[in-house]
């Protein structure tokens, strides 16, 4: 059995975490086992990974203990010569230490861009500019979840697009599940707007709240479901209070039942400032949801006629009018065949990865 080392999985459910767990659940475990070099003390789906035979390795925090972090990387690769391949799942180039160290210890490095990154912090911009020059020198295989994500991280190199595919059948609309979850959340008779994403500037939660405020002023029978966690949660909770929306915004935190929660929604709204692909928008389409997304979402995510984009430059009121088109409900169709035909079914992506891992 080949053991592949993964880097990039965190404790906050996002595009990388969704991609990794989808791959994990569909890969041939008789031939490949995936182990994890952890970014954080814990990672998403930790119990499932351990129960399935994965090894999870923790090293000192890079930001809090940079010297110990570097020593930890050296010690790790010195103690684990069994790994021949490391798959680096990256949102940006601010941290490429494991790739550099793996290269010097003779591993084949697969660098996988999952984002069309447009950060604003000066230190992050500096690190990304520097590391974009270093990363290609230690990378053997360049992957990206979309054309935009590849061009962002590997502007001068050829890369292969492996989109963040999903198990489309898992999201197929189920009326019984919908009714059960709406009852659990006490939103049976509400018009439910949903969003999935970590509380991070990229996801544009503050603008999302402005949009929902405009929706709620026109239709008070509305609820906003926010699924995710992150550093900006206190600020978002503060704005919810400022807008007097405490009774109609539900924050559910990190959840493993995204497919079921999407059944409970009536429309999916995704006003991100940038995305590598926007896998949750594809999941929403698989669930038969109408999707209102920003014009920053890559075209690869536009699989069905359920999705439409709205410019980020227009007012929240314009977004609200688009959303309220669906206030009386709409038929939730079966989009599985369209998802599969687009190449975004997970089985296609997993086969490509298996071939890469065994390539000499």
Whether the CB-CB separation of 347 and 166 falls below 8 Å is answered with: no
pLDDT at 326: 94
Local confidence band at 238 (pLDDT 50, 70, 90 cut-offs):
very high
Mean pLDDT of the chain: 92
- On whether the CB atoms of residues 144 and 160 are closer than 8 A, the answer is yes
Note the pLDDT tens digit of each residue in 136-148. Answer: 999 999 999 889 8
Show Cβ contacts of residue 286 under 8 Å, excluding neighbours closer than 6 positions. 166, 168, 170, 171, 172, 335, 336, 339
pLDDT score recorded for residue 319: 98
**CA-to-CA distance for 105 and 21, rounded, in angstroms?**
27
When pLDDT is averaged across residues 210-222 and rounded to a whole number, the result is 97
At residue 18, the pLDDT reads 87
For the domain 2-165+345-358, what is the CATH code? 3.40.50.2000
- Edge to edge, the sheet with strand 141-144 lists 56-58, 32-38, 2-7, 85-90, 108-113, 141-144, 160-161
pLDDT score of 331: 83
Share of the chain above pLDDT 70, in %: 99
Question: Is residue 76 scored above 70 in pLDDT?
Answer: yes
* pLDDT for residue 128 is more than 80: no
Work out the average pLDDT over 348-355: 88
- The answer on pLDDT for 277 being more than 90 is no
Residue 176 burial class via C-beta count within 10 angstroms: exposed 0-12, middle 13-18, buried 19 and up: exposed
Q: Which of 25-29, 58-62, 91-95, 304-308 has the lowest mean pLDDT?
A: 91-95
Model confidence band, residue 345 (pLDDT cutoffs 50, 70, 90):
confident
Q: Supply the pLDDT for residue 300.
A: 87
pLDDT classification of 347: cutoffs 50, 70, 90: confident
pLDDT value at position 358? 82
Q: What does the alpha-carbon distance between residue 57 and residue 51 come to, in Å, rounded to a whole number?
A: 15
pLDDT tens string 8-53: 988 888 888 889 999 999 999 999 999 999 978 889 899 999 999 9
Name the class of domain 168-341. alpha beta
Which residues fall within 8 angstroms of residue 75, CB to CB, at 6 or more apart? none
What are the boundaries of each domain within the chain?
2-165+345-358, 168-341
Q: Give the separation between CA 207 and CA 269, rounded to whole angstroms.
A: 11
Confidence class for position 92, pLDDT limits 50, 70, 90 = confident
Instruction: Using pLDDT thresholds of 50, 70 and 90, give the confidence band for residue 120.
Output: low
C-alpha pair distances (Å), 186 with each of 84, 102, 178, 222, 224:
50, 50, 12, 12, 13
Strands 85-90 and 32-38: unpaired
Locate 125 and state its tokens. Answer: 């911009």
pLDDT tens per residue across span 156-169: 899 999 877 788 88
> 307: pLDDT confidence band, cut at 50, 70 and 90?
very high
Residue 315: count of CB within 10 angstroms of its CB: 11
Does the reported pTM lie above 0.85?
no
Residue 207 in this model has a pLDDT that exceeds 80: yes
Q: Looking at the predicted structure, is the pLDDT value of residue 119 above 80? A: no
| 161-204 per-position pLDDT tens digit | 987 778 888 899 999 999 999 999 999 999 999 999 999 999 99
């Amino acid at each position: 059995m080949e053991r592949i080392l993964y880097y990039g999985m965190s404790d906050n459910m996002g595009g990388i975490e969704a991609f990794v767990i989808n791959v994990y659940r569909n890969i041939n475990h008789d031939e490949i086992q995936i182990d994890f070099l952890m970014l954080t003390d814990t990672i998403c789906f930790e119990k499932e990974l351990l129960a399935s035979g994965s090894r999870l390795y923790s090293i000192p925090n890079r930001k809090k203990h940079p010297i110990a972090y570097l020593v930890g990387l050296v010690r790790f690769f010195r103690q684990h010569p069994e790994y021949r391949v490391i798959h680096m799942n990256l949102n940006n180039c601010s941290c490429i230490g494991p790739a550099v160290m793996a290269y010097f210890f003779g591993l084949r490095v697969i660098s996988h861009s999952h984002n069309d990154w447009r950060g604003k912090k000066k230190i992050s911009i500096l690190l990304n500019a520097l590391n974009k020059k270093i990363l290609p020198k230690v990378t053997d295989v360049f992957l990206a979840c979309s054309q935009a994500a590849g061009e962002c991280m590997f502007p001068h190199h050829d890369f292969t697009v492996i989109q963040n595919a999903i198990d489309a059948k898992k999201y197929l609309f189920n009326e019984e599940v919908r009714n059960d979850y709406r009852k659990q959340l006490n939103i049976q008779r509400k018009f439910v707007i949903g969003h999935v994403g970590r509380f991070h500037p990229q996801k544009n939660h503050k603008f999302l709240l402005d949009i929902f405020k405009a929706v709620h002023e026109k239709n008070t029978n509305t609820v906003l479901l926010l699924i995710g966690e992150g550093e900006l949660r206190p600020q978002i909770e503060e704005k919810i209070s400022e807008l007097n929306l405490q009774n109609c915004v539900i924050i559910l935190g990190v959840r493993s039942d995204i497919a079921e929660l999407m059944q409970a929604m009536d429309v999916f709204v995704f006003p991100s400032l940038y995305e590598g692909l926007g896998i949750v928008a594809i999941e929403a389409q698989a669930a038969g949801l109408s999707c209102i997304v920003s014009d920053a979402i890559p075209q690869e995510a536009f699989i069905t006629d359920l999705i439409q984009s709205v410019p980020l430059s227009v007012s929240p009121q314009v977004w609200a009018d688009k959303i309220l088109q669906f206030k009386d409900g709409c038929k939730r169709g079966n989009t599985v065949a369209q998802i599969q035909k687009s190449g975004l079914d997970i089985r296609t992506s997993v086969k490509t990865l298996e071939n890469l891992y065994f390539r000499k």
